[in-house]
Amino acid sequence: MTAPYVNTGRVTETVRPVAVVTGASSGIGAATARRLAADGYEVVCAARRRDRMVALAAEIGGRAVACDVTSAADVASLAVEVGERCDLLVNNAGGAYGADPVSAADLDQWRAMYEVNVIGVVAVTKALLPALVASQGQIVVIGSTAGQVAYEGGGGYVAAKFAVHSVVDTLRLELWDQPVRVCEIAPGMVRSEGFSLTRFEGDQAKADAVYAGVAAPLTSEDIADCVAWVATRPPHVNIDRMTVRPRAQAANHKVHRIFDKPAEGAPAQ
C-alpha cells in the first residue's frame, strides 16, 4: 500500500509525504514507524531513547530525533527538524504508571501520566500544527479504551486517557475550517513491548498476568495497521474515532481467559 491523498495544499514538491511518530522507540510507535515507511512515508522517529531512534531510522530510511514530549525544548527542536511539511502526526508517546486505587494514589505518578499522555499530545500538536495545515495533513492520537470506561486500579491512567479523548474532540471542533483531519485510535488489550512492564515498575510476573490466559491479545502491528488505514482514507473522509480490541476482550473488565488452573486477575489495559 502506498501513501495516497497527501500533498494537495501549498506543499507542491514531489517527495515522500512526511510522518512524525512520537514514542517511536518501541511497541506501537516502532511498529507504526515501520508500517508507514513501508507505505511510502518519510518517517521522523521521535522518542527519548536516541540509540533506538538512530537504529530504527537507519532501518526504515527515516530521521531520528531525540524528543521527550514533556520537554518544551525538545518539542521545539522536533518542530525545527520537521520543518514546514508534516502530512501525518501520530501522537503515540504515553504510558501508565502503577495500578493503585485512588485512595492510595501516588500523586507523582498521576502527574507524570498527565504530563506525557495529555500535555505531551497538546505540546507536539501545537508545535507541528502550522506544518500540518500547510500540508493539509492529519493528526492521529493513540488513546485507549481506558479513556472510554473506567476500571478499578486504572486511576491516573484512566483520568489521563479520558482527557486525551476530550482533547481530540475539542481539537476537531476547533479545526473545523482547516484542512486537517483529527482521529483517535483507542486500543484495548495490546501486548506491546514495555507497556505493562513499565506500569508495574519492572515486575515481570505482574506484567505477564495482564495477558495470562488470553489466546491472542492485539499486537503493536495490529495498531500500526489501523493507523495506516486511517491515514490513507480520501481527504474528505475523517475517521473520528476507532476502538479496537482483541476478540477475547468484550470490554475492559470482561476478557476471555483459558487457564489450566485459576490465576490471579490483573488490571485491564
Segment 119-164, tens digit of pLDDT: 999 999 999 999 999 999 999 999 999 999 999 999 999 999 999 9
User: pLDDT of 10-21, one tens digit each?
Assistant: 334 458 999 999
pLDDT of residue 10: 38
- 3 state SS of 264: coil
- Give me the residues paired with residue 216 across strands: none
pTM here? Answer: 0.89
With CA atoms as reference, report the closest residue to 194 among 24, 11, 5, 79.
24
Q: Which candidate in 41, 114, 157, 211 is catalytic?
A: 157
CATH of domain 18-255: 3.40.50.720
Asked whether the predicted pLDDT for residue 269 surpasses 60, the reply is: no
pLDDT band at 193 (very low <50, low <70, confident <90, very high): confident
- Which of 215, 214, 196, 213 is closest to 263 using CA atoms? 213
Mean pLDDT of 165-185: 98
> How many C-beta neighbours within 10 Å does residue 10 have?
12
| 5 labelled catalytic | no
**d(C-alpha 88, C-alpha 16), whole Å:** 12
The Cα–Cα gap between 230 and 228 comes to 6
249-251/254-255 β-pairing: antiparallel
d(CA 108, CA 118): 15
Angstrom distance (rounded) from CA 113 to CA 94? 7
Kind plus residue range of the DSSP H or E element containing 131:
helix 120-134
Q: Where are the beta strands (DSSP E) in the chain?
A: 18-22, 42-47, 63-66, 88-91, 138-142, 181-187, 241-244, 249-251, 254-255
Under the banding of pLDDT at 50, 70 and 90, the label for residue 62 is very high
Note whether 257 and 200 are within 8 A (CB).
no
Residue in this structure with the C-alpha cell 512520537, named with its chain if needed = 22
